[in-house]
Structure 1
Amino acid sequence: MLEIKSLTKKYGKSLAVDNVSFTIPAGEVGILLGPNGAGKSTIIKSMAGLLKYQGDVLMNGLSARTIEAKRRFAYVPEMPSMYEALTVQEHIEFIKRAYGVEAEEGFEENLLKRFELWDKKDKLGNELSKGMMQKVSICCALMIRPKVILFDEPMIGLDPKAIKELKEVILELKTEGATVLVSTHMLEMVKELWDIMFIMNKGKIVGSFRKTDALEQDIEEIFFGITGGEEK
């Protein structure tokens, strides 16, 4: 479960996120939508511990600031960053050692093959395209078998095959009882994934919907109805 309680973030005198609260139960996929500049990435980065903020973030009842919570948590940033002198496989090994995880036999190989990285496992970080770095970032996050995982615009730069695999992975995580939050403005990409949706505008949650309560409404109808047609 992921719980956000009264999260507020200011940049100087500018209020980027204004007293935001929401909850995503275990085994559900939450979608954070909003126009550019709505505050989505600020919330994600705050939850990931990259920004100082006011309020509380709880992961399975544990404060996100604790080591115990961080061991169960994974984050895939919008802009992947890799160590230039480490290979793809060495990035995976680094994550395994940092988190103290031992993947079952074949898990790592299967994961890299799913994202078409197995034949590139010896390539260095500085030899990879943006899309390949994004796939490595996703694989690193999945290696720890997270209980809570945050994706910030994860499909930007991915090829169609990788997008298909990522969607399947998100649904698998849901089946395994993990809590998933995807921040995006690519409505078409998340239509079949969401259980609960939060729409942001100007630093606030301006609407929240459960898929089971949306009746015949399409995700785009809901989004544009709330934001007044703002997508960018």
Structure 2
Amino acid sequence: MLTVTDLTKKYGKQNAVDDISFHLEGGEVVGLLGPNGAGKSTTMKCIVGLLRKSAGEITIGGHDHLSVEAKKFFSYIPETPYVYDLLTVWEHMQFIAQAYGVRDWQPRAKELLSLYELDDKEKKLGRDLSKGMRQKVSICCALLPDPQLLFFDEPMIGLDPKAIKNTKILFKKLKEQGKTILVSTHLIDSVESIADRIMIMKDGRIIGNDTIENLKTQAASGQGLSLEDLFLELTKDE
């Protein structure tokens, strides 16, 4: 579903992403973890085309990641949600449906807005939404076209506890439907229960890429580590 080969992103002489390679299979939920400045968001933005990569190749569904064909495969939920100030919540859904050519979208839109308790906010303008509500609208818009691949960059930031719980349940449902999900997050416990695999970044490089259990056995401290302990063990300064 996603193949990243020798991806590099430079800012001047600094490598924000330093020659990384990985792939995601269909139906896989992968957590992308790392401390601030590790390169997680930069990696995602390069994949979805918001940043121009310095080197490397990225394919989505067998297509170059910048092609129209590739863009039909995925949705991206950024860390900072963007909404249109002068569109209502419902008009956001309508706009996405028209942009992606989604037919009979209204029932699905109603279902998503209800899941995130936005059904009474349908006529509210984007400029009047709180950050948490903007994040919910962003998630609903991303899910409406029923993409095969979803990129979530810090999806839990700004969400209330009920919305976080619903998002975790949603991840499991999407996985059961065979969707592929890449979740970048600082909130380690938010991915521990849903991720098939964890990729840990540090200084622009991937220093761990395996199941949680396999990474624990590879860590110096051996058994008995929580995911948080494992993360701190692998990312500590030498």
Shift of 1:93: 0.6
Cα distance, 1:203–1:193 mapped onto 2, change above 3 Å: same
Partner AA of 1:30 in structure 2: V
Cα distance, 1:121–1:229 mapped onto 2, change above 3 Å: farther
Does 38-47 or 212-221 show the bigger shift? 212-221
Q: Secondary structure, in 3 states, of the residue corresponding to 1:156?
A: coil
Shift of 1:105: 6.0
Extract unaligned runs of 5+ from structure 1: none
Match of 1:220 among 219, 224, 228: 228
Q: Secondary structure, in 3 states, of the residue corresponding to 1:118?
A: coil
Q: Secondary structure, in 3 states, of the residue corresponding to 1:117?
A: coil
Q: Secondary structure, in 3 states, of the residue corresponding to 1:173?
A: helix
1:8 is matched with 8
Does 205-214 or 160-169 show the bigger shift? 205-214
Partner AA of 1:144 in structure 2: P
Provide the TM-score with structure 1 as the length reference.
0.94
Cα distance, 1:229–1:163 mapped onto 2, change above 3 Å: farther
Contact between 2:105 and 2:144, CA under 8 Å: does it hold in 1? no
Contact between 1:195 and 1:212, CA under 8 Å: does it hold in 2? no
CA distance in 1, matches of 2:145, 2:184: 21
Shift of 1:229: 7.7
2:102 is matched with 101
Q: Secondary structure, in 3 states, of the residue corresponding to 1:119?
A: coil
RMSD after superposition: 1.6
Extract unaligned runs of 5+ from structure 2: 218-223
Partner AA of 2:137 in structure 1: V
Task: Name the count of aligned residue pairs.
Answer: 230
Provide the TM-score with structure 2 as the length reference.
0.92
Percent identical residues: 49
Shift of 1:202: 0.4
List 4+ stretches of structure 1 deviating above 4 A. 214-217
Partner AA of 1:79 in structure 2: T
